[in-house]
Amino acid sequence: MEKKYPRVGVGVMIQNEKGEVLMGLRLAPIPDEWCFPGGSLEFGENIEKATIREAEEETGLKVSNLELIAVVEEKRYIIINNKHYIVIGFRAGKYSGEPRLMEPDKFREWKWFSLDNLPDKMLEATELIIKNYKAGKIYQG
């Protein structure tokens, strides 16, 4: 029997000049849920570099001045995909470019949302990152 290990994911909250956050509507692996740009840490990769890479791969945006805002554990994903993820959430202090649909096999669209008017269906990690950010806490067990 193969031994399972937790994985590390990254997510980045990108805010525009109005304070709205950028989210993508997923097609896979969990369809019809909104989430921040992000993904899995590659072996030997620095978490900030992974966050920058994932944001650019998914949205075409170049992010910088990253600030750690959350460390969260996805519990729903264990049940759905049998994968255990610890996700490190960052806030991008700067970004350049306009969001583009870079991975149409994974996302339907990118859209800006007010933190006071978020979509109903979000990936658990994105929900938890926002919750931690609003509470001003990096980790809430």
Quick check: is 140 in a domain? no
Domain contains 12: yes
pLDDT tens digits, 19-75:
999 999 999 878 999 999 999 999 999 999 999 999 999 999 999 999 999 999 988
The per-residue DSSP string of 97-134 comes to: S------TTTEEEEEEE-TTS--S-B-HHHHHHHHHHH
- Predicted structure pTM score: 0.94
Does residue 42 lie within any of the structural domains?
yes
> How far is it, in rounded angstroms, from Cα 105 to Cα 115?
27
Residue ranges making up the domain that contains 59? 7-135
Domains of the chain: total:
1
Residue 1 lies in a domain: no
Provide the CATH number for the domain around residue 40. Answer: 3.90.79.10
Q: Is residue 34 part of a domain?
A: yes
Q: Does any domain span residue 126?
A: yes
Is 141 domain-assigned?
Answer: no
